[in-house]
Amino acid sequence: MQSLFVNSHPCSILLFNLILFVLFYNTMAVIKLPPNETFPAIFVFGDSTVDTGNNNNRVTPSKANYRPYGNDFKGKVATGRFSNGKVPSDMIAAELEIKELLPAYLDPNLQPQDLITGVCFASGGSGYDPLTPKLALTLSMSDQLGMLKEYIVRLQGIVGANRTNFILTRSLYLISLSSCDIANVYFGPTSRRYEYDFNSYTDLMLKYTTQFLKEIYSLGARRIGVLGAPPIGCVPSQRTVAGGVRRQCGEGHNQLATLFNAKLTTLLDSLNKDMLDSRMVYLDIYNPLLDLIEHPEKNDVNDYVFWDSFHPTERVYKIITSQVIKNAGNRLF
């Protein structure tokens, strides 16, 4: 149960492609919010696991606006989503009854009305480490933060300052990063693993995680879901690169991912204590995805777990999303 086709792909600049993999979906039931609580909009930051097309018009190898991507999307259109269909950004927006699809902020067809209910700022190939997007020629977290600031000005022009503040403070923010940092930079063709051991590199990643979280908090973000690193050593491309002749999961990749996740959990707990009214929640994707990879027969994944050598199929995204939301519960939703 590997990938449907293992050809080259974005984020991974020198090797295969890029990034990771998986997030969410919910069952057919809509997320139940507490009384009088609503999410007026959703904002998504990150990499190719959640990118809905921001790289389409960039000069970068991290693109998915060509066939067979989008093979199962409505109209069989390759929209820039790194999957055969929808990605978690869309699934969460739909489950919150905000909109069916979450548009990319850089979509040239984006309408003013689209801005009111949220957009996606994510860019395939990005990461916490500033070197990651630099190598992949994609939008860094600083770039994505800059787009959020620009978005706020545009939104104020549409709905006014008061409504803008309401939207910013009551909406859901999701962040999905770390896969490219681990697979394409630390274990890629760079000097990072000679400059940093696992402990110091995860500290570097968390330094930039902290900066980004504090920045969006200062702009109004309060309910923030941060996805941990997946078992990146188990995606097809990394099994080929680091798994030996039997293509086992890359042990080092997964060790680095689990260390990052442990530190991320501690960081979010600390920030919640220091930042008034914040609700920053760690979202575990490592264990649900690993279980699905190791035991596909226990899950209705159809024929394949991965769509390409890095990204899961739409069906797998849905299964993972359901588990992530269930585990997050009232802590975030």
Q: Containing H/E element for 280?
A: strand 279-283
259: three-class secondary structure by DSSP: helix
Catalytic status, residue 8: no
Written as six digits, the tokens of 331 are 């802590």
Give the whole-angstrom CA distance, residue 220 versus residue 45: 15
Report how far Cα 60 is from the mean position of its chain's Cα atoms: 18
Catalytic status, residue 322: no
154: three-class secondary structure by DSSP: helix
Catalytic status, residue 311: yes
Task: Write the DSSP symbol of residue 45.
Answer: E
Give the whole-angstrom CA distance, residue 123 versus residue 73: 19
Instruction: Give the residue carrying structure tokens 């069989």.
Output: 76
Q: How many CB atoms lie within 10 A of CB 214?
A: 14
Give the whole-angstrom CA distance, residue 41 versus residue 117: 4
Written as six digits, the tokens of 113 are 């009305």
Q: How many helices (H) and strands (E) does the chain have?
A: 12, 4
Cα angle value 293/255/281 (rounded, 5°): 80
Backbone CA torsion sign across 314, 33, 149, 278 = negative
Q: Which of 129, 176, 181, 311 is flagged as catalytic?
A: 311
43: three-class secondary structure by DSSP: strand
Written as six digits, the tokens of 84 are 């055969």
Give the whole-angstrom CA distance, residue 63 versus residue 58: 8
Q: Which of 129, 308, 309, 322 is flagged as catalytic?
A: 308
Q: At what angle do helices 88-95 and 314-328 cross, to 10 degrees?
A: 50
Q: Which of 48, 83, 89, 126 is flagged as catalytic?
A: 48
Q: Locate the DSSP E strands across 13-112.
A: 42-46
List, by residue number, the catalytic residues: 48, 308, 311
